[in-house]
């Protein structure tokens, strides 16, 4: 049973507009949620994270929102740029002492295409 | 710092062969993990380690072994390669505690024929 889900395989937006990538999780025993960006033939790179005790975190053009009651998080990119075109993975870090201790569980990924 | 180094970058195996994917990190990170990436499946955790001498299974451990004799190294062994193990493999490491952001290697593309 997949604990972290990204239900949209792909997203296409126009340059300058907002990109919103979504992620759902089923297990409450996570203390951090993270977003990674991946270009072809490279390893994923860390983008932004949020603690489970917060509902928003911003870093430049990137903002992550967490809705704990809905077990949902989203990544907003404003404004979107062609260089943002990549695969985006959300991930959840297991709480120490839980069955997911030491684990970082990833979703399936969403391919974002930003058109010039 | 080299970060996380994976070797080889590409490998072709015949069904039934064994091999070891190497992973080394120079950041003194406690935690290390192996993931495989398959189309539509995202990154799935194979095995992970929370410190030298400690390993545990992830989501898809069957057909793979690991050991962690030093903090720096975390090799992944394929005991008898199968076509279903054709994938891109990523090794990652992070320090303990905190947000848990992993640093990833550049990956090993493995094809089993």
Per-residue model confidence as pLDDT tens digits over A55-83: 999 999 999 999 999 999 999 999 999 99
CA B73-B77-B79 angle, 5° bins = 165
Q: How far is A95 from chain B (nearest CA, A)?
A: 10
CB contact under 8 A, A6 and B42: yes
Mean pLDDT, chain B, as a whole number? 93
Q: How far is B80 from chain A (nearest CA, A)?
A: 26
Give DSSP secondary structure letters for A33-82. EEEEEE-TTS--EEEEEEETT-SEEEETTEEEEEETTTTEEEEEESS--G
Listed residue (B91, B92, B66) closest to B79, CA to CA: B66
pLDDT in tens, B36-76: 999 888 899 999 999 999 999 999 999 999 999 999 999 99
> Is the peptide bond between A46 and the residue preceding it cis, with omega within 30 degrees of 0?
no
Question: Which one of B4, B50, B106 has the shortest CB-CB distance to A102?
Answer: B50
| Phi, psi at B2, each rounded to 5° | -85, -20
pLDDT in tens, A8-53: 999 999 999 999 999 999 988 898 999 999 999 899 999 999 999 9
List of residues 6+ apart from A77 with CB closer than 8 A: A18, A19, A20, A21, A61, A62, A84, A112
CB contact under 8 A, B58 and A45: no
Angstrom distance (rounded) from CA A116 to CA B53: 50
Strands B10-13 and B108-112: parallel
Cβ neighbours of B62 (radius 10 Å): 10
User: Is 70 exceeded by the pLDDT of residue B6?
Assistant: yes
Cβ neighbours of A9 (radius 10 Å): 12
CB contact under 8 A, A104 and B33: yes
Residues A18-39, buried b or exposed e (16+ Cβ, 10 A)?
Answer: ebbbbbbbebebbbbbbbbbbe
The answer to whether the beta carbons of residues B111 and B13 sit under 8 Å apart is: yes
**The pLDDT of residue A4:** 94
Q: Report residue B100's pLDDT band, with 50, 70 and 90 as the boundaries.
A: low
């Amino acid at each position: 049973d997949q604990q972290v889900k990204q239900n949209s395989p792909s997203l296409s937006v126009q340059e300058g507009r907002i990109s919103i990538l979504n992620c759902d999780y089923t297990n409450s025993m996570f203390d951090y949620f993270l977003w990674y960006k991946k270009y072809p033939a490279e390893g994923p790179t860390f983008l932004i994270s949020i603690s489970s005790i917060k509902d928003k975190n911003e870093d430049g053009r990137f903002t992550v929102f967490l809705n704990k009651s809905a077990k949902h998080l989203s990544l907003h990119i404003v404004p979107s740029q062609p260089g943002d075109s990549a695969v985006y993975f959300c991930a959840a870090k297991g709480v120490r002492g839980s069955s997911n201790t030491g684990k970082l569980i990833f979703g399936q990924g969403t391919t974002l295409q930003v058109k010039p | 710092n080299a970060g996380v180094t994976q070797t080889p970058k590409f490998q072709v195996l015949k069904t039934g062969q064994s091999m070891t994917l190497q992973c080394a990190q120079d950041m003194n990170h406690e935690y290390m993990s192996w993931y495989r990436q398959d189309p539509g499946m995202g990154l799935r955790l194979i095995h992970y380690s929370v410190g030298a001498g400690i390993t545990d299974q992830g989501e898809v451990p069957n057909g793979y072994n690991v050991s962690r004799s030093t903090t720096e190294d975390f090799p992944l062994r394929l005991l008898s390669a199968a076509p279903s193990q054709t994938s891109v493999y990523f090794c990652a490491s992070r320090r303990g505690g905190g947000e848990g952001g992993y640093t990833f290697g550049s990956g090993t593309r493995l094809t089993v024929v």
